[in-house]
Every structure is written in C-alpha cells, then in structure tokens.
Amino acid sequence: MSGPGQPGQPGDPGGPGDPGGPLAGIRVIDWTIWQHGPVAGAMLGDLGADVIKIEERLGGDSGRAQFAFPDTGTSPYFEVNNRNKRSIAVDLKRPEGVALVRQLVARSDVFIQNFRPTVAEKLGLDYETLRADNPMLVYGAGSAYGPNGPERTARAYDLLGQARSGLMLKPGTDEVSIADSGLADQMGAIMLAYGVLAALLARERHGVGQRVDTSLFGSMLALRGLALALELMTQDGRVATSTFRRHLGDEPPSRENPGNPLWNYYRCADGKLIAMAMVQSDPHWANLLHALGSPESLAGDPRFASHISRCQNARACVAILDKIFAAESRDTWLRRLLASGDMPITAVNTTADIANDPQAIANNYITWFDHPAMGRTRVPGFPVALSETPARIQRQAPEFGEHTEEILINVLGLTWDDISRLREQEIL
C-alpha cells in the first residue's frame, strides 16, 4: 500500500531484506485518548505503521497518569496502549496548531480519533474537512454509541459499554457481574483497527478513501453476537434453544443446573477451578469416568447413562461431580484427566495464572520488551501470527511530546527556526 505524500517510517529492525510489518510505509495520525482509541493505534503500530500520537500541548493524554507507579511515573496502562508510537504536543485550541495537524494528515494514510461527535467538527478535524486535503484518507472514528441516533453525542466510558450491551447481567437474571475493567474499550479498539484495515484494503483495491465508524456499544454487541442472534432470530415468538438446555424450560442455566453437566466448571480441593466443554459428551464419558476412578455414583446410575439423560438430570450429576472434584487439587485432576483421553478440559485461570501460562508464552501472547525505564519486562504480545511480516514491539510508549521536532522536520519539512517560532508562540 502506498499513501500520499512522504512514506511512513516503520523503524524496521530486521535488517536488509526484512519487509517489516504488513503496514510498513503506512502513516497513522492518532488523535486519541485513554484506551479505546489508543489501543487501535497501538495495534496498527504493532503491524508496522508509523503512528504519530497527537497530544494536547498542556497535559496530553490523561491516560499517562492512569495506573502509574508513584516512584517512576511509569504506567503499564499507558505503555501497552501507546507502544510503537511517536508523540507530538500541539495546542489544538489555536488555529495554527490545528493547521499543523492538518498538514500531517495531508501527508498520511490514516487518521483516528475517539472524541465525541462534534468535537472534531468544532476544531476542523472532521472527515469532510480532512478529506478535502487528502481524498484518499482513511478516517477512523470511535464513539460511545455510534455516529447516528439521539445519543450520538452522549458521553460514555468502558463500564457503560458493558452495561448497554447487556454483558453485565448474567443470562436470564438481574444479577450484575462486571467483567474486567477496560473490556469494552479493548473490544472497541479491536473493531476500530479492524475497520481501518478493511478501509486500507479497499483503498488499495478500489482507489477510495473513506470514513470508518465504530463504537463501544456496537463493538460489544458484536462480542455478544450469538446471544443477540438468538434473541433476534425467533420463530413464531420462540427463541432457539440448545438441545441440552431444552429440559430447563424457562429456568435460566446456572452452574448448579447448566443443562449439560459437562459444559461447566468445578472447584477442586485447593480452591482452584477446572472447566470442561464437552458439547456432545458421549464420546468422552468413558474416559472421564476412568480419570475420576470410575465412581459407582456416576458409572452405575442409569440417570447418567447417555448425553441426553445426563442433561435431563444435570443438577444431580453436578452435585456428585462437585464432591468428586473437591477431593483433590486442580493439578492432580488435570494430570489425570488429560492423561485419560483427548478431552476438552482446562484450568480456569486467574490473571496471575495467565502471566505464567506456558501456552501463552509459547505463542508470544505474552512476550518480553526491553524498556528503558522498567528494564526487561513482560508485556502483552500480539494475538495474530504472520509468517512473513510479523507484528513487533519496536518502541516503548513515547514521552510527552518526545518526537515533536523530529516529526515536524522529517514529515513537514520545517526548519529549526520554524520550530523555535512555534514554541515562542506557545503553539508547541
């Protein structure tokens, strides 16, 4: 892909012959704050794009102070959301500052922002204005509830994205269960990056720039796609029901009565949890009984002789399995179960468990980075493996305004005298 103006600077660390990431040569202007937008920019940077983070001259991204260590000021939140970026600090309340950003956008491929609709318009950084300077621009906007409708300008953050999408409520109940903080922001960022990638491909194939709109609300609805589809795609007023839950009637599934007792989780003697996901459990039942020591309470009871009968008597089956799993530690059960056959069973990990999960490490879902302030440290990796143009963490999150001069000189061709004058005018 080739964009207008000067090419991006991917910072290719691989040496001669290395093509860099798949977005090498693409320049992204990232005017985003907190998590929703910044993570999208970081993902594009992981893929090799030259991402320039625009920060307000006084204060910058408030995310810099979020979860910061008091002694060093280093913030894992800001670091992971803004790696692989360069930072320029500009006063966007001044027309001269906006003009500098517009010049950068005119020489770039992508512009992303996650401010409420009307904010960009008031500053002259809206799509219509920027595409007049750069018709091939891909303009990505991440909002709370979407670009249309009566709440298009409503203020919202991560928790409200979880709430509005229904994720906070356990199915069929009014019981609230808040997921990880930042989940809606993260999903919104993934969808924004996904939309930008699609638009870049469309530009390459069809020669068109365009606006990409995503939202916290829409992204979380996509995450809950199956549940939403079941609610929408009814027949004669009936909601489609899984075969192993039909006997529940109107009763919502629960851990004690899940419909299928082998699609459930169990607590072991050490308090740790184990999960199994045997959609059709008959092929696994004999192996499971063997691993559990062939208890008569299960093996000799006709209520548990088949998949259907186990589903119909799920509550009784779960009660027996609870007692069995409570007798040994999780590691003991995992060894026995995994040695007894190819069964879909795993640990229910805590976040601390995930940090040392051998499978996460083997696939670089967790990786290492040499950070100048934190030293060699573990960080979340990139979840997609590309055989020829892999994603990379090439640089840590930037210091506030760290690359201002470098960007203005190399991208816009300004001189040191120009920069000195802008500083004297308090635009930089």
Tell the burial category of 371 from Cβ atoms under 10 Å away from its Cβ (0-12, 13-18, 19+).
Answer: middle
pLDDT surpassing 80 at residue 427: yes
Please compute the mean of the pLDDT values over residues 159-171 and round it to a whole number.
86
Please compute the mean of the pLDDT values over residues 403-408 and round it to a whole number.
95
pLDDT tens-digit readout, 333-354: 999 999 998 899 999 999 899 9
pLDDT category of residue 244 using cuts at 50, 70 and 90: low
Look at the alpha carbons of 241, 244, 250, 252 in this order and tell me if their dihedral is positive or negative: negative
- pLDDT given for residue 16 in this prediction: 53
- pLDDT given for residue 169 in this prediction: 84
Instruction: Return the number of other C-beta atoms located less than 10 Å from residue 355's C-beta.
Output: 13
pLDDT tens-digit readout, 170-223: 776 777 877 778 989 999 999 999 999 999 999 999 999 999 999 999 999 999
pLDDT surpassing 70 at residue 127: yes
Q: What percent of the chain has pLDDT over 90?
A: 66
pTM for the full predicted model? 0.88
pLDDT category of residue 17 using cuts at 50, 70 and 90: low
Q: How far is CA 141 from CA 61, 87, 148, 314, 396, in A?
A: 17, 20, 12, 47, 24
More confident residue, 58 or 90: 90
Enter the tokens of residue 34: 């907190």
Please compute the mean of the pLDDT values over residues 16-35 and round it to a whole number.
88
Q: Which domains does the chain have, with CATH numbers?
A: 27-225+372-425 (3.40.50.10540), 245-348 (3.30.1540.10)
- pLDDT given for residue 257 in this prediction: 86
d(CA 288, CA 301): 15
pLDDT tens-digit readout, 99-122: 999 999 999 999 999 998 889 999
Adjacent-strand bridge partners of 140? 112, 212
pLDDT tens-digit readout, 71-85: 888 889 999 999 999
Tell the burial category of 47 from Cβ atoms under 10 Å away from its Cβ (0-12, 13-18, 19+).
Answer: buried
pLDDT category of residue 255 using cuts at 50, 70 and 90: confident
- pLDDT given for residue 172 in this prediction: 67
- pLDDT given for residue 115 in this prediction: 93
- pLDDT given for residue 132 in this prediction: 97
Measured distance between the N- and C-terminal CA atoms of the chain, rounded to whole angstroms: 32
d(CA 169, CA 171): 6
211 and 127 in contact (C-beta within 8 Å)?
Answer: yes
- pLDDT given for residue 7 in this prediction: 32
pLDDT tens-digit readout, 31-72: 999 999 999 999 999 999 999 999 999 888 998 988 888 888
pLDDT category of residue 316 using cuts at 50, 70 and 90: very high
